[in-house]
A and B are shown apart, each in its own frame.
Chain A
Amino acid sequence: MKTYHPLRELTLARLREFLREPEAVFWTFGFPLMLAVGLGIAFRDRPIEIVRVDVQQAERAQDVVAQLSSRNDVVVALHGEAECRERLRTGKSALVVVPGDPVTFVFDPSRPESALARARVDDILQRAAGRHDPVRTADARVTEPGSRYIDFLVPGLLGMNLMGGSMWGVGFAIVDMRVKKLLKRLAATPMTRTNFLWSLAGSRLLFMLPEVAVILGTGMLLFGMPIRGSWMAILTLAILGAVSFAGLGMLAACRAQRIETVSGLMNFIMVPMWLLSGIFFSSERFPALLQPLVQALPLTQLNDALRAVILEGAPLASQGWRVLGLVAWGAVPFTLALRWFRWN
């Protein structure tokens, strides 16, 4: 007679359900891949930012156009006053130059490309008028792998995906089974709670491996992102992150009776982290007042630790506090979820 292991069978059931759901597979693997490729292309190799400048029709306008056209980092066009304003307002140009004395720059200073265009155009016009710079300067451009935006982005996407995958994967599965009264039916068998909850966490860990491979693989192969730390350290962090967020997902789902309820709860937990935890830009940009909160979030800890290991080659031991933080963020919700769990 065959032997049957409940933990293995429960985990297998989760894996089969997941792999037989094409949408779930896409959102877990395809979506982060597309996001990484899309953002990577958007932020890739921008040697010089080209600014679009309009010159307003006026006396001596042709001279200004000629001076600006000599540069390859400025695209210049000549238009009437009304059209210039319209193009500026709709973002087709960054700056309007009104020739005369003084030469007037019309622009919105809060638009970074407008500020850049103003400085650049002013510089060109001053030099053309014969200005001499008293200090000699030289540029050294930083473009080596490891310090570009895409290098910063990929570990953040990995963290975001570990969070989303674990929370949705575990939270939805639980509430779906509760809605179907399958949880109640399982509670009527000798199945142990521990096996049930571990099967959810375990199946998450198995899904996580290809996720990590897809995201880091894209970064390495497509963008030449370096992996400076050890793979063991990266994998350990990924496991910690996946289990930790699985605990939060269980907590969100432990009593919810409807899919809508658990969706709301999980968004309530995840949206602040999408904003604050440094996925797309560094979390250090937030004001000092917010920093204690920002740094306490599990996704901040995961992202910062992943970046330190992947980009700086930091050993896992140097990330002790972040690791401890992740363990706490997993253990406390898991314990609460176990206590409050509702089977029917």
Chain B
Amino acid sequence: MTAAGTAAPAVRCRALTKHYPSKTGLVHAVNGLDLEILGGECFGLLGPNGAGKTTTIEILEGLLAPTSGDVEVLGRQWGRHDDDLRQRLGISLQETRFQDKLSVLEVLTLFRSFYRRGLEPSDVAALVGLSEKASAWVGRLSGGQRQRLAVACALVGDPDLLFLDEPTTGLDPQSRRQLWEIIRAFGRKGRTILLTTHYMDEAERLCNRVAIVDRGRVIALGSPADLITSMGGAHVIEFACASGTAIEPAALAALPSVRDVVAGAGDTALTVSEPHVAVPALLGLLQAHHVELLRLTTRHVSLEDVFMHLTGRHLRDEDVSPA
């Protein structure tokens, strides 16, 4: 992807913290977070609910003041160059409900009027596939169409930097793919994107680099491929044995090309570099120990595995209180 001639990072923040007072004491929503997003890249903030993704992105958007830390966006600072920054940013918040009784085109025209330069509202409607709905009231749009309208409002000022906070949460698969295509098209123009998500596949498909955020800190950073490689293997073999029979993890770890063994309650997961070598070896081992195999699957390593490997928790765990 081209960097649009910007050598300097599009976003840089250092030692960012945000503390909220709450009934149970101080909540450390963001707790010493460092980020550097390059011009022209699509960067993903990945993490479970309550990890501090939204707080972080809203600080970068200038909507929240950090408790401490330095923030620089497009080489400028909030509080000193606000109008200049706002002219160059496109923002889609996690949830915005536009006026139900205005049409798509009217909403886009309203947002267009705030920017000194930008795209024609009807062009943006076409860009997000809402041309046919241009004169329909917002109240009559489906969830996916509303989300595309929200992204269109972010694009109408022709921004250099696009912030998308969970752009596809709650959408059906088709709507998600439509939005991904819109985001990719924006990236192809060499512009910078920062998006938050808790969907692995979204980050893997869209992002050049991702930062995995947990409890207000970055716990891993790199391209999706790099992060997956850091697991030591590109594939996972998951299998389950009949009850009462088991294989020692040490014996599994000794199998050829096995990098990691995670023994769960029923399932066992092996991270392997070469499944065609590991699978026959595993089957041989099971046969030698007279262990009955119930199930066996192989798949590619995902960011979900990376997250689990790093934290021992699932990304979609809902038991984390949102910040």
Binding site for B on A (CB under 8 A): 1-2, 4-6, 8-10, 12-13, 16-17, 20-21, 180-182, 184-185, 187-191, 343-344
Contacts and interface: CB of A to CB of B under 8 A. Distances in A.
Given A4-B109, A13-B110, A182 B83 contact: no
B153 interface: yes
Contacts of B106: 12-13, 16
Given A1-B120, A188-B91, 9 more contacts: A2-B120, A9-B110, A10-B110, A181-B93, A181-B96, A189-B91, A189-B114, A343-B63, A344-B63
B113 A6 contact: yes
Given A9-B109, A9-B110, A181 B99 contact: no
B96 A191 contact: no
A26 B255 CA distance: 79
Contacts of A190: 83, 86-87, 114-116, 157
Which size bracket describes the interface of B in this complex? 20 to 34
Contact of A17 (B63, B101, B113): B101
Interface in B44-101: 61-63, 83, 86-87, 89, 91, 93, 95-99, 101
Contact of A20 (B63, B87, B96, B101): B101
Given A188-B61, A189-B157, A190-B86, A181 B97 contact: yes
B111 interface: yes
24 contacts: A4-B109, A5-B113, A8-B113, A9-B110, A9-B113, A13-B99, A13-B110, A16-B101, A181-B95, A181-B96, A181-B97, A182-B96, A184-B96, A185-B91, A185-B96, A187-B63, A188-B61, A188-B63, A188-B86, A189-B115, A190-B83, A190-B87, A190-B116, A344-B63
Contacts of B62: 188
B102 A17 contact: yes
Interface in B101-143: 101-102, 106, 109-116, 120, 137
Contacts of A344: 63
Q: Which of A16, A182, A185, A191 has its CB near the most chain B CB atoms (within 10 A)? A: A185
Contact of B112 (A4, A185, A187): A4
Contacts of B89: 188
A144 to B, nearest CB: 47
A128 to B, nearest CB: 70
A1 B113 CA distance: 12
Nearest to A177: B99
